[in-house]
Every structure is written in structure tokens, then in C-alpha cells.
Amino acid sequence: MPATVLVLVETINDYLPILEHQGFHLILAPTPAERAEAITRHSGQINAVLTRGPLGLYADEIAALPNLKIICVIGAGYEHVDLQAAADRGITVTNGAGVNASSVADHAMALLLSLVRDVPRCDAAVRRGEWPKIMRPSLSGKRLGILGLGAVGMAIAKRAANGFDMSVSYHNRQHRSDVSYAFCSTPTELARASDFLVIATPGGLTTKHLINRQVLDALGPKGFLVNIARASVVVTADLISALEQRRIAGAALDVFDAEPHVPDALKSLTNVVLTPHVAGLSPEAIEGTVELVGRNLVAFFSGQPVLTPVELPTRISNAVL
């Protein structure tokens, strides 16, 4: 009997035949109501779950799926997947780190250009029949700071350094000896060394609220912030305050705390560019991501090691199996 995969992701339908052609039976549940119904109705049938970081998979859901063996997360982040519950059940978790790096990096640069050059305001003015001569900074030769130099951060760094002659600095959990970019030991130090600060680190407890008032003040009134990672990395109230008071020049955001809700305070600001969490969405990225999910599933159900395992916490010995 083929393995049954519960698909919670709402943006990949055109590429799901990749998994079907590999012999997997799919149950699609892209809305909260469909998700709850599918878990209740098909609880004993589901062997795998396909999700993404913001959608996650919670402990009560894992407990309700007695035959769940593997959770595949699209993208790098898995912040709302209960890793402890998975570990206690011996469930494998994989992610798609790096597959959509090019798409996310492209979007990061698009946001940076739109923000710094004030493209949305210029576009709106022309559509109103106006012809303003808006003076805006250039990107060339500026200092770019990247928080998180993984696959996405590296792709952004290459675009900035090679395409715009920017100097690049970064803060990472560890110094990287394989790159020539300047390492900063704290986010505050990185912000102080940057004209533009791009957040490219995964979400989760270890990165929560790394960007706070202190960091934003270090970025300063001429500095710009771009977040294509996770909203949890930033203290949103501190960001809104800094934007309102012009303690930073502007921000471009693709991620928000309670998606799809966006704070009205952000919508009302003229020094902000907003997009609906689409940085990782491109035909190339989605196809590559689903192909990786397929390879992980085939490997797992063939008894082989998965390609992109997520490290799980220590199993709690008295967990109920």
C-alpha cells in the first residue's frame, strides 16, 4: 500500500503530480477547517505530513496521527513544528533548506531596491498624474549587513557584492572561515556597520527578538531594514516605533507575526514596503522544493537516510508512545 501524505501547504498544487507519480497518495488540506477534518477523518491512514514553518504541526496533531512516520517541511524554517513531540514518537523531520535560496535572495534585493529608491511612492505619484523629483540614495558602494549567512544569506551577499559593489558584513551563530565577508559578533555590531540590514536567519526560539530597539538605534536614521526571514526575529513594536519616529529610514517586510494580519500601524507608514510572504515563491523554487520532498519521502520509505534531516531534541524517556 502506498504511503499517504497529508498536504497542508497551499501554494504547491501545480507540482503535486511529482509526488503522485512517485506513488504517494495525497490528502489536500490547505485551510484550517480542512486540516482539522482531515486529521480527524484520516488519522489512521496518514503516514507523512507536508507543511511549512508558519503552518507547522503541533503536538496534539502529532498525537492524533498514530501512523505518522515523517514530517516534511517546505523551506528552511520549521518553527511551528513540535520537534519534541516528533522526537518522542521517533518521527523523522526534514526541511528544504537552500532550495528556494535564489528566489528569496531575488526578492530581498527587489525589496531593498523598492525601499531605498522609493519605487512604490514614485509609481503611485505617476498614476495620479504627478511628476515628483524624489531624491533617493544609491545602493552602489553601500554597506550591507546580513543576519544569518546560510544559503539565503550567501545568495544575497553575492548579489550585493558582485552586482552592486557593496561591502558585506554578517552575524551568524558561528564565524565562517570559508567567506571573506566581515564577521560581526553581535546583531548590534552588525547594525552599526550597515547602511542596509537584511534578516535572513531562520525563526524559532534561538533567534526570537534578535532585532530590538538597541539594534534598530544602531542601524540609525539613515539605515534601512529588510526582513525576508521570519517576523519573530524582530520586536515588531520596536520596529514600528523606530519607523514612526524616523529613528531608521525605512523597512521592507515580507513576513509578519500573525499572517495574514498586518498591523495597521505598518500599513499607514510611507517609509515601509510590504509583500505577502512571497519571497520563496517562484516556479523554479516550488518545483525544486517538491522534488526534494519527493526524494526525502522515497528515501525514507525505502529504508534509506533522508537527504535533509532536521536535528531533533533528545527523546524524553517517559514519553507515551
Q: Read off the pLDDT of each residue in 205-225 and give the average, rounded to a whole number.
A: 97
What is the rounded distance in angstroms from the CA atom of residue 114 to the CA atom of residue 102? Answer: 18
Which residues neighbour 72 within 8 Å (Cβ) at sequence distance 6 or greater? 5, 48, 49, 50, 51, 93, 94, 95, 96, 293, 296, 297
Find the catalytic residue in 37, 244, 259, 284.
Answer: 259
Q: Report all structural domains of the chain as residue ranges with CATH numbers, in order of start.
A: 4-99+283-301 (3.40.50.720), 101-274 (3.40.50.720)
Residues 156-174: tens digit of each pLDDT: 999 999 999 999 999 999 9
Determine whether 209 is an active site residue: no
For the cut 70, the answer to whether the pLDDT of residue 321 exceeds it is: no
pLDDT recorded at residue 135: 95
Q: Pairing mode, if any, of strands 92-94 and 70-74?
A: parallel
Written as nine digits, the cell of 43 is 488519522
Residue with the three cell numbers 520509505: 301
Indicate if the pLDDT at residue 316 is higher than 90: no
Contact status, residue 34 vs residue 28, Cβ threshold 8 Å = yes
* Residue pLDDT, tens place only, 226-241: 999 999 999 999 999 9
Confirm if 64 and 42 have CB atoms less than 8 A apart.
no
- 35 counts as catalytic: no
Q: Which of 277, 287, 311, 315 is catalytic?
A: 277
Predicted confidence at residue 243, as pLDDT, reads 98
pLDDT at residue 309 tops 60: yes
Please say if 259 is a catalytic residue. Answer: yes
Question: Is residue 76 scored above 90 in pLDDT?
Answer: no
Catalytic residue among 89, 107, 171, 230: 230
**How high is the pLDDT of residue 319?**
53
